[in-house]
Chains A and B, each alone.
Chain A
Amino acid sequence: MNVGYVLRRFGVFLIIIWLAATLSFLLPRLAPVNPIREKLLQAVSFGGAGKTDMEAVVKNYEAKFGLDQPLWRQYVLYISDMARFDFGISISNFPSKVIDIIMRALPWTIGLLLVSTLIAFVVGTLLGALAAWPQTPIVVNLLLTPLITLSSIPFYILGLILVYLLAFSLRWFPLSGGYNQFTIPSLNWAFMMDVLHHSILPALSIVLASIGSWAIGMRGMIISGLGEDYITFAEAKGLKDREIFYRYALRNALLPQTTSLALSLGYIVSGAVLVEVVFGYPGVGTVLYQAIRLFDYFVIYGIVMILILAIGLATLLIDLLYPLLDPRITYQGR
């Protein structure tokens, strides 16, 4: 693998992170009144029991961002804080650090997303490939039509319907949350099954609503590949249909399919954030939703930064894995 390519790709990753950090620095300062200060002062003026706490937060905020210093120094300070994952302290949850709050929620989100996206990608890609293959039984196409229709609606809308039908009316699944609130999280069998039981509906709404889009993309790719010379050649060689399908048609269509996986990660994460809100799942989506309700800006910006970082890393990884999928790509400088 070419070192120059890896470096260039890593540079793009850094630019994304830098852009996100700069945006979250500039926007509050471009607004006519800095909403963060406004919120802090408002919290202080409420007074009462939390008053001393709030004054401490405001002091912390002003010292942290050096508001008396020139703008460029504030910027340098801000960026270096971001680089050290120091997102500040939660306003609504005073003594907790934002990074701790995020780190508690992040495993839930990653687990839910990883499993459901993988299932949807693998099943959808296979179904789409089969649908384009002339020898496939008609059943596959019949199965695909409702799935493709479902893929046009957002995950969480499907989630709302699933909650109502399967959890509220039929009571097959719990209504919300990531585990039974009356159990203590621990690494035993009962707890794991409980977590699984709670995650089926959120995962199902992501899987059902995204299988169709993978299938459509794959089907288009296979169809446009079927006319190619290498397929005709493989047929002329007398290879079995099954072999032509797996080794020639499927494999060649996998690369663009993986590219679209990398491109749609952002869309998937945005969708999953809302799925978590619908299900009250204890991941970052729910934390973000609560932070927005409470105007907890540091938590909001922290979550956005972490998610953008995570997606950036994932796309970086996918891009670097291409040569494994397609030996023709070696990233030699052109």
Chain B
Amino acid sequence: MRLSSTIRQHPLLMWGLAIMILLILFGPVMSNFVDVQGVKLGSGMPEVPPSAEYPLGTDTYGREILPVMVVGTPLTLRIGLIAGAIGLSIGIVLGFVAGYFGGWVDTLIKGAADVLLTVPGLLFLVVIATTLRGAVSVNMMALVVASLAWMWPTRTIRSQVLTLRERQFVLVARLNGMGGFEIILRELIPNLLPYLAASFVSAVGSAILATIGLEALGLGPQNEPTLGMTIYWALYSTAILRGLWWWWGPPIVVIIFTFLGLFLITLGLDQIANPKLRRVT
């Protein structure tokens, strides 16, 4: 049980994982207790504060906020997980190819990643999402966001591969006659697991950040009650200035816990990958 003891030795990682597991379970578990029909427009009285009938109140359009959270949280997490997984997969392929083979392939891949990193991702996504507007589904949203989620994974994996490549055990493997791809699969990937995990977590985090941002600007799936769309509708109806805190409060709490959970996991994985940092945190 090496994994569970590693987790227990790193409280930050443990707390982060606990928060994320609770968030992931929140939707599926709560949907057994909450009538998810409440997400429909006009299913309740408009703008009612939290009460026995509507535990988290309702918005201007008569949607009940609790069911909106129950349905919306898994949708937003799904976008993040799909986009993060795609981003990491592209990053692994490009990072390993660039780092291990080097040469002009490396120059090209590193150049592309660096150029795209300096560009404000959200704005590029705004252009893409504006074009698709009206026809965006949750899965399409994930694809749009994934199109810019691969640069950081590519960069970190590439630089780790560069240092690992020169190690003795890689040389031994090469002298034993292993081919390039076999070395990557059998020697490099196992050694990079903490970095791959950290890349995945940060890719999921930035994907969620991007999708919530796009949605808050009004470029999300108009008919799905994701967290970002809930914030968009709240901003659209100036819910803050009218004191409707129960409308924008719950999505914000869920978003804060999502980022907090991902952040704690990143910090924990960082401690595993660079033990030097641990004495301060």
Binding site for B on A (CB under 8 A): 12, 15-16, 19-20, 23-24, 27-28, 30-31, 35, 131-132, 141, 149, 152-154, 156-157, 160-161, 163-164, 168, 175-176, 219-220, 223-224, 227, 262-263, 265-267, 269-271, 273-274, 277-278, 288-289, 292-293, 295, 297, 300-301, 303-304, 307-308, 311-312, 315
- Once the chains are docked, how many angstroms separate the CA of A161 from the CA of B249? 9
Residue numbers in A under 8 Å from B213 (CB-CB) = 154, 156, 270-271, 274
Complex interface bits, B99-125 against A, C-beta within 8 A gives 1, otherwise 0 = 000000000000100010111111110
Could you say which of B36-44, B80-88, B188-196, B252-260 contacts chain A?
B252-260
Closest CB of chain B to A84's CB: distance in Å?
Answer: 20
Pick the contact of A219: B117, B132, B241, B280 (CB < 8 A). Answer: B280
Q: Are A267 and B121 in contact (CB under 8 A)?
A: yes
Given A157-B252, A168-B241; A308-B128 close (CB under 8 Å): no
Could you say which of B21-29, B165-173, B179-187, B215-223 contacts chain A?
B215-223
Residue numbers in B under 8 Å from A263 (CB-CB) = 117-118
Given A152-B259, A292-B218, A308-B123; A168-B240 close (CB under 8 Å): yes
Given A152-B263, A277-B235, A301-B127; A307-B115 close (CB under 8 Å): no
Complex interface bits, B269-280 against A, C-beta within 8 A gives 1, otherwise 0 = 000001011001
Pick the contact of A23: B122, B124, B132, B216 (CB < 8 A). Answer: B124
B17 at the interface (CB under 8 A from A): no
B14 at the interface (CB under 8 A from A): no
Residue numbers in B under 8 Å from A227 (CB-CB) = 276
Residue numbers in B under 8 Å from A269 (CB-CB) = 120, 123
Q: Can you identify 30 A-B contacts, CB atoms within 8 angstroms?
A: A12-B111, A19-B119, A23-B124, A27-B128, A27-B131, A31-B131, A31-B132, A132-B280, A152-B259, A154-B212, A163-B240, A175-B241, A176-B241, A220-B274, A266-B119, A267-B121, A269-B123, A270-B123, A277-B217, A288-B217, A289-B218, A292-B130, A292-B218, A300-B126, A300-B127, A301-B127, A304-B127, A308-B120, A308-B123, A311-B119
Q: Are A160 and B115 in contact (CB under 8 A)?
A: no
Q: Are A274 and B216 in contact (CB under 8 A)?
A: yes
Q: Are B255 and A164 in contact (CB under 8 A)?
A: no
Residue numbers in A under 8 Å from B260 (CB-CB) = 149, 152-153
Residue numbers in A under 8 Å from B280 (CB-CB) = 131-132, 141, 219, 223
- Once the chains are docked, how many angstroms separate the CA of A293 from the CA of B236? 10
Q: Are A27 and B276 in contact (CB under 8 A)?
A: no
Residue numbers in A under 8 Å from B121 (CB-CB) = 266-267, 270
- Once the chains are docked, how many angstroms separate the CA of A150 from the CA of B128? 30
Residue numbers in B under 8 Å from A297 (CB-CB) = 130
Residue numbers in A under 8 Å from B235 (CB-CB) = 277-278
| 18 extra A-B contacts, CB within 8 A, seeds A20-B119, A219-B280 | A12-B115, A16-B119, A23-B124, A27-B127, A141-B280, A152-B260, A152-B262, A153-B256, A154-B209, A156-B213, A168-B243, A176-B241, A263-B117, A263-B118, A269-B120, A274-B216, A277-B235, A278-B235
B133 at the interface (CB under 8 A from A): yes
Closest CB of chain B to A308's CB: distance in Å?
Answer: 6
Closest CB of chain A to B247's CB: distance in Å?
Answer: 11
Residue numbers in A under 8 Å from B245 (CB-CB) = 164
B200 at the interface (CB under 8 A from A): no
Residue numbers in B under 8 Å from A19 (CB-CB) = 115, 119
B248 at the interface (CB under 8 A from A): yes
Given A20-B119, A131-B280, A266-B119; A304-B126 close (CB under 8 Å): yes
Interface centre among A12, A273, A288 (most CB of B within 10 A): A273
Closest CB of chain A to B12's CB: distance in Å?
Answer: 11
Residue numbers in B under 8 Å from A160 (CB-CB) = 231, 240, 248, 252
